[in-house]
Amino acid sequence: MAGATKPEASTAAELWPREEARRLAERVAAYAPSRPVIFQSGFGPSGLPHLGTMAEILRPSFVRKAFHLLEPSRPSRLIVFIDDLDGLRKVPENVPNREATQQYLGVPVSKIPDPFGCCASFADHMIGLLGGFLAPVEVEYELKRASEMYSSGQFDEGLKLILDKRAEIIAIIAPTLREENRAGWSPFMPICPKCGQVVERSVTAYHPERRAIEFTCEKSAGGTRGCGFSGEQSVLGGKAKVQWKVDWALRWYVLKVDYELYGKDLTDSARLSGQILRVMGARAPLGFPFEMFLDEEGHKVSKSVGRGVTVDQWTRYAPIEVLKYFLLLNPRRARKLFLEAIPQYVDEYLDAVREYAAASAEQRRESILEYVIQSTTPRRFNSALSFGLMMNLVAALGSSDRDFIWNYIVRYDPSIAGDAETEKMGRALMECALNFYRDFIEPTKQPYTPSDAERGQLITLVAWLRENQNASAEEIEKRIYDLGRENYDKPGKIFPLLYRSILGQQRGPRLGAFIRLATPARIVELIDATLARA
Ligand SMILES: [Zn+2]
Ligand SMILES: [Zn+2]
C-alpha cells in the first residue's frame, strides 16, 4: 500500500510488558501475599473514546498479563479512573447539540446533560461508549468515578493531607506556572454551591482545623463566568476538587497505585504528581510515557477533534486481535496510523499465528499471541495465503458474492478449508478484504488504455495463458519475466502495464501466485476487457 512503512518485527525477545512486569515484581516483593498489585489508567469523559484510549487501557493490561505469568498467585486489579468531575473546557467537535452544551462550560461533565439525549449526563454517555468500545477486546477492568470517590468520602483522608501540606504542594507547582498565574494558585477548586462550576484560583483563606476554605466565585475569573458567590466551604465529601496534578497524586495515594502508563504529553505532569505524592508520604507508581499516535499528516490524534483511525474502522478491515497486536508494539516509538497500513499488520499477525500453532506449550507461553488471543480467536491458520493476496483476488474478481470468492480461494489452497479454525480465520479475512476493497481500492480503480506496443505484449500473454491454463505460479512468473525481458531493458518494467490492465491500479501483488489464485481464465477475461477498450 502506498506510503505505508513496513511494520517492525515484534519478537518475544523485545516484549516490553515482560520487562515492565519484572520491575513491578521487584517493587511489590515486600507486600503481603494477599495485597493486590494496582494498575491504573485514566479516561477523561469530556470527549469520545478513541484509539489512544484503547491504548491507555490495553497496554497496562499487557503488563498485568506478563505479571501474572511471572507471579501467578499475586492478585491484581486494573482500575480505569474516570474524571467525571472535570469541568468542561471545550465542547468536542464530534458531539451533536454543541450550542446547547456550550452554556455548561466549567461545569463537571457528570452534571452536564447528555448532548446525545439518551443518558443521565454527558459523562454517562461517554462512559457507556467506553464500555461498548472495550467489550470486543475482552479486557478485564473496574471503573472508578471521580464524582463517587469524592462525594462518598473515599478521597477525604487524602484531601485532609493535601490541605495540611498545601504550602509544600504550592511550592512544587507555583514555579512551573507563568508568573501572572502564580499568585492565588491553590490546590483546591471548590464546586460553587450557587452556579455549580468548578472554580479555579478562587481560594482566599484556608481553615484546616475545620477542613474548609473560603472562596469567591468571581464574575470575571479567568475566562469562566463566575456567579459572584462568596463563602466558606468544606473541602471534603465532593464539595471541592483538587487541581489536575494534585488530583493524579490523590488517586495514586488513595488507590495505592503501583503501575500507570501515560501519554508523552503528560511527562511533566507525571513528574510533578510524583513529587506531590512524596510530600504526601507515598511512592510514585512505576510506568513510563508512551509516544502518541499520529494521523496520516503527522498530527497528534486528539479526542476533541477525533481524527485518525477509529476502532470501528479497525474491526471493519482487520480482526480485533490485529489491533491488540498493533498496540503491543513498542509504545516508546511514535506511530503514524492510517487505514492503508492495516493490511500489513494483518499479514504480520498471520505469521505470528502460524508460528504459534507450530509451537510447543512451553514456547507458546513465551509467544506474543498470549497477549492477543481471545476466547473466540482462531488459534491456527494452516494456509500460506496472505491478506494482501486475498484483497487483490477480491479486486480481480470484482464481485462481492462470498460463495463465489470463497470457492476461488479454496480451489487455490484447499488447506484453508481443512480445519474449522483455519476456515473461520479465512472467512473473517475475506470479509475484511471485501470491506477494504470496497472502501479504498474500488474508488481508485482507473480503466487503462494500452498503447499499440503494449497491446502486443498483452496479446502475447493472453495467448500463452489460454494455452497454459494449468501452469504453476512459478511458470507464470517466469513467462512474465521473459516477456518483460523481450520488451524492456529491465524485465520488471512490464509490471505496471499488467497491474493497470488487470487491476486498474499502479501496484499489485506478485503476479505468478496471484494469477494462479485468480485463475488464468479470469485474468484472460480482464485483459481482454482492457484490450477491447482501445
Ligand atoms: Zn447518551
Ligand atoms: Zn458560582
Distances (CA, A) of 381 to 11, 138, 408, 505: 19, 22, 18, 29
For residues 162 and 250, is the Cβ–Cβ distance under 8 A? yes
Question: Cα-flanking dihedrals φ and ψ of residue 98, to 5°?
Answer: -60, -35
pLDDT computed for residue 306 by the predictor: 45
Residue 169 corresponds to which amino acid? I
Residue 299 Cα, ligand 1 centroid: separation in angstroms? Answer: 29
* Nearest ligand to the C-alpha atom of residue 217: 2
Question: Could you give the CA distance from residue 198 to residue 107 in angstroms, rounded to a whole number?
Answer: 6
Written as tens digits, the pLDDT of the chain (534 aa) is 333 444 454 554 468 999 999 999 999 999 999 999 999 999 999 988 888 889 999 999 999 999 999 999 999 999 999 999 988 989 988 889 899 999 998 899 999 999 999 999 999 999 999 999 899 999 999 999 999 999 999 999 999 999 999 999 999 999 999 998 888 899 999 999 999 989 888 899 999 999 999 999 987 655 557 899 999 999 999 999 999 999 999 999 999 999 999 999 999 999 999 999 999 999 999 999 998 877 777 776 654 444 567 788 888 999 999 999 989 988 888 877 777 788 888 999 999 999 999 999 999 888 889 999 999 999 999 999 999 889 889 988 888 889 999 998 999 899 999 999 999 999 999 999 999 888 888 888 889 999 999 999 999 999 999 999 999 999 999 999 999 999 999 999 999 999 999 999 888 888 999 999 999 999 999 999 999 986
- 3-state class of 115 per DSSP? coil
Residue 133 Cα, ligand 1 centroid: separation in angstroms? Answer: 14
pLDDT computed for residue 304 by the predictor: 43
Residue 98 Cα, ligand 1 centroid: separation in angstroms? Answer: 14
pTM for this model (two decimals): 0.87
Residue 323 Cα, ligand 1 centroid: separation in angstroms? Answer: 26
Residue 96 Cα, ligand 1 centroid: separation in angstroms? Answer: 11
Write down the H helix ranges in 135-285: 146-151, 156-164, 166-173, 179-182, 244-255, 267-279
Separation of first and last alpha carbons in the chain: 29
Residue 151 Cα, ligand 2 centroid: separation in angstroms? Answer: 19
* Nearest ligand to the C-alpha atom of residue 125: 1
Residue 385 Cα, ligand 2 centroid: separation in angstroms? Answer: 64
Residue 224 Cα, ligand 2 centroid: separation in angstroms? Answer: 10
Residue 198 Cα, ligand 2 centroid: separation in angstroms? Answer: 8
Question: Could you give the CA distance from residue 118 to residue 100 in angstroms, rounded to a whole number?
Answer: 15
Cα–Cα–Cα angle for 153, 260, 11, rounded to 5 degrees: 155
Question: What is the torsion angle, in degrees rounded to the nearest 10, for the CA atoms of residue 253, residue 256, residue 261 and residue 263?
Answer: -20
- 3-state class of 258 per DSSP? coil
Residue 252 Cα, ligand 1 centroid: separation in angstroms? Answer: 30
Residue 218 Cα, ligand 2 centroid: separation in angstroms? Answer: 7
Residue 215 corresponds to which amino acid? F
Residue 187 Cα, ligand 2 centroid: separation in angstroms? Answer: 18
Residue 310 Cα, ligand 1 centroid: separation in angstroms? Answer: 19
Residue 195 Cα, ligand 2 centroid: separation in angstroms? Answer: 4
Residue 115 Cα, ligand 1 centroid: separation in angstroms? Answer: 7
Residue 424 corresponds to which amino acid? K
Secondary structure of 70-104 in HEC code, one letter for each residue:
HCCCCCEEEEEEECCCCECCCCCCCCCCHHHHHCC
pLDDT computed for residue 366 by the predictor: 84
277-313 exposure pattern, b = at least 16 Cβ within 10 A, e = fewer: bebbebebbbbebbebbbbeeeebbbbbebbbbbbeb
* Nearest ligand to the C-alpha atom of residue 231: 2
Residue 161 corresponds to which amino acid? L
Question: Could you give the CA distance from residue 20 to residue 63 in angstroms, rounded to a whole number?
Answer: 6
- 3-state class of 234 per DSSP? strand
For residues 220 and 226, is the Cβ–Cβ distance under 8 A? yes
* Nearest ligand to the C-alpha atom of residue 215: 2
- Kindly state the helix (H) or strand (E) to which residue 57 belongs, with its residue range: helix 51-70
Residue 368 Cα, ligand 2 centroid: separation in angstroms? Answer: 53
Residue 114 Cα, ligand 1 centroid: separation in angstroms? Answer: 6
Residue 134 Cα, ligand 1 centroid: separation in angstroms? Answer: 17
Neighbours of ion ligand 1 (CB under 5 A): 114, 116, 118-119, 125
Question: Cα-flanking dihedrals φ and ψ of residue 347, to 5°?
Answer: -65, -35
Residue 174 Cα, ligand 1 centroid: separation in angstroms? Answer: 39
The residue behind cell 505532569 is 269
Residue 97 Cα, ligand 1 centroid: separation in angstroms? Answer: 12
Residue 148 Cα, ligand 1 centroid: separation in angstroms? Answer: 19
For residues 253 and 282, is the Cβ–Cβ distance under 8 A? yes
Residue 82 Cα, ligand 2 centroid: separation in angstroms? Answer: 24
* Nearest ligand to the C-alpha atom of residue 97: 1
pLDDT computed for residue 3 by the predictor: 38
Residue 121 Cα, ligand 1 centroid: separation in angstroms? Answer: 7
- Going 243 to 198 to 83 to 208, the CA torsion angle's sign is positive
- Kindly state the helix (H) or strand (E) to which residue 355 belongs, with its residue range: helix 342-358
Residue 71 corresponds to which amino acid? E
Q: Which three cell numbers stand for residue 34?
A: 494477599
Residue 66 Cα, ligand 1 centroid: separation in angstroms? Answer: 36
Residue 248 Cα, ligand 1 centroid: separation in angstroms? Answer: 27
Residue 117 Cα, ligand 1 centroid: separation in angstroms? Answer: 5
Residue 193 Cα, ligand 2 centroid: separation in angstroms? Answer: 7
CA 111 to chain centre: 28
